[in-house]
């Protein structure tokens, strides 16, 4: 952290790359926190920076400019391809990385991608932390994400104020790769559970039961689940405003299955659920909430 002339600690500058559903909410919390002298933002589609600039952020034209301006840069990109391009591409993070700079990639990617980015950052003299998150739009807005970090532990400690702003709990899981693996396990479970829930809701409807009664029964027993309570009513109405896009969930299922393949770990339930996400995506529901997988269980989306 830099120092002012009188020896007092100056507020650091941070940057945030990637302003999708999650990134916009996370960056907005950093802007509002008051912890930073400046929050710099970048997005491939520059118009998405405008609301944050209006709130006090400063926009830049490339990830490299963000690195030049900030002490720590956070990234929240859509998938491994986007994460690699932002980190390693022309005008990317690594092109401006040097000693004293740090990159925290909060994207959900596979371990190979995270390791490749981390090694490139280190080779350029910087520090790297992977820190994917568990949670969707509402937890991101409310600062209730769960942060799954691994890599440079000293950087994890320094990011405490940012993580406290964006999340309700930040865990340091060990060497680089542990965060990526944990996130894929978590999202693999989540995808499979949503698939089973959708299947049960469809069965209840097909057998003449009220879905509202099923939701009440589930809420009263050992299977009570915040996800069922949150998604159940919208699913019953067949309304899927995106909090976490189905295309992103299917991407995470694909990556979780690839991890299982690499380890010879059978994942039959996740594999079956993934086929339903693929079916829902083929129905044109990729940009809907991931709960739209319900439409793959014997339904066609209403016009």
Range of 201's domain?
A: 181-296
Tell me what the mean pLDDT of segment 151-159 comes to.
98
Task: Note whether residue 36 is domain-resident.
Answer: yes
Same domain, 119 and 185: no
pLDDT in tens, 248-303: 999 999 999 999 999 999 999 999 999 999 999 999 999 999 999 999 997 554 44
Same domain, 17 and 125: yes
SS3 266: coil
Cα–Cα distance, 27 to 33 (Å, whole number): 10
Same domain, 199 and 77: no
Q: Of the residues 175, 206, 221, which one is the last residue of a structural domain?
A: 175
What is the percent of the chain where pLDDT is above 70?
A: 95
pLDDT in tens, 29-75: 999 999 999 999 999 999 999 999 999 999 999 999 999 999 999 99
Report CA torsion sign: 113, 119, 120, 122.
positive
Secondary structure of 94-119 as H, E, C letters: HHHCCCCCEEEECCCCCHHHHHHHHH
Same domain, 261 and 145: no
Same domain, 211 and 143: no
Same domain, 144 and 48: yes
**Terminal-residue alpha carbon distance, the chain:** 55
Task: Note whether residue 166 is domain-resident.
Answer: yes
Task: Note whether residue 1 is domain-resident.
Answer: no
Going by the DSSP 8-state scheme, the letter that residue 10 receives in this structure is P
Helix axis angle, 80-88 to 111-123, nearest 10° = 10
Cα–Cα distance, 105 to 13 (Å, whole number): 17
The pLDDT assigned to 298 comes to 75
Catalytic residue, candidates 48, 101, 137, 183? 183
Tell me what the mean pLDDT of segment 150-158 comes to.
98
Q: Assess contact for 219 and 228: CB atoms under 8 A.
A: yes
> Considering all CA atoms of the chain, what is the largest pairwise distance in Å, rounded to the nearest integer?
74
Q: For this structure, is 245 an active site residue?
A: no
Same domain, 218 and 256: yes
Same domain, 29 and 139: yes
Same domain, 70 and 89: yes
The pLDDT assigned to 299 comes to 59
Buried b / exposed e over 280-301, threshold 16 CB at 10 Å, is bbebebbebbbbbbbbbbeeee
Task: Note whether residue 217 is domain-resident.
Answer: yes
Cα–Cα distance, 140 to 167 (Å, whole number): 7
Task: Note whether residue 55 is domain-resident.
Answer: yes
State the residue for tokens 């970090």.
149
Residues 6+ apart with CB under 8 A from 163: 131, 147, 149, 170
Same domain, 157 and 253: no
How many distinct structural domains can be found in the chain? Answer: 2
Same domain, 256 and 287: yes
Same domain, 153 and 236: no
Tokens of 237: 């109405």
The pLDDT assigned to 303 comes to 40
Task: Note whether residue 252 is domain-resident.
Answer: yes
Binned at pLDDT 50, 70 and 90, residue 240 comes out as very high
Q: CB atoms < 10 A from the CB of 268, how many?
A: 9
């Amino acid at each position: 952290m830099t120092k002012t002339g009188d020896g007092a600690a100056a507020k650091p500058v941070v940057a945030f790359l990637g302003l999708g559903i999650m990134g916009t909410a996370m960056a907005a919390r950093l802007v509002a926190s008051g912890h930073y002298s400046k929050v710099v933002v970048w997005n491939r589609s520059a118009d998405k920076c405008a609301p944050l600039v209006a709130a006090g952020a400063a926009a830049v034209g490339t990830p490299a400019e963000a690195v030049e301006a900030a002490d720590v840069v956070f990234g929240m990109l859509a998938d491994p391809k986007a994460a690699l391009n932002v980190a390693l591409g022309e005008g990317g993070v690594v092109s401006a990385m040097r000693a004293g700079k740090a990159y925290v990639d909060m994207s959900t990617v596979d371990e190979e991608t995270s390791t490749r980015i981390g090694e490139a950052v280190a080779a350029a003299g910087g520090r790297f932390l992977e820190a994917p998150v568990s949670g969707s739009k509402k937890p991101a807005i409310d600062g209730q994400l769960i942060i799954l970090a691994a890599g440079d532990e000293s950087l994890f400690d320094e990011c405490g104020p940012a993580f406290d702003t964006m999340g309700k709990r930040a865990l340091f899981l060990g060497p680089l790769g542990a965060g990526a693996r944990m996130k894929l396990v978590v999202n693999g479970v989540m995808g499979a559970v949503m698939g089973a829930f959708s299947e049960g809701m469809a069965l209840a409807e097909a057998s003449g039961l009220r879905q509202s009664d099923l939701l009440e029964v589930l809420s009263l027993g050992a299977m009570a689940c915040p996800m069922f309570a949150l998604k159940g009513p919208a699913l019953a109405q067949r309304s899927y405003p995106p909090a976490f896009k189905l295309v992103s969930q299917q991407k995470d299922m694909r990556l979780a299955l690839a991890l299982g393949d690499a380890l010879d770990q059978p994942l039959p339930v996740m594999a079956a659920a993934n086929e339903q996400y693929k079916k829902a995506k083929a129905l044109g529901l990729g940009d809907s909430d991931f709960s739209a997988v319900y439409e793959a269980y014997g339904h066609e989306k209403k016009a």
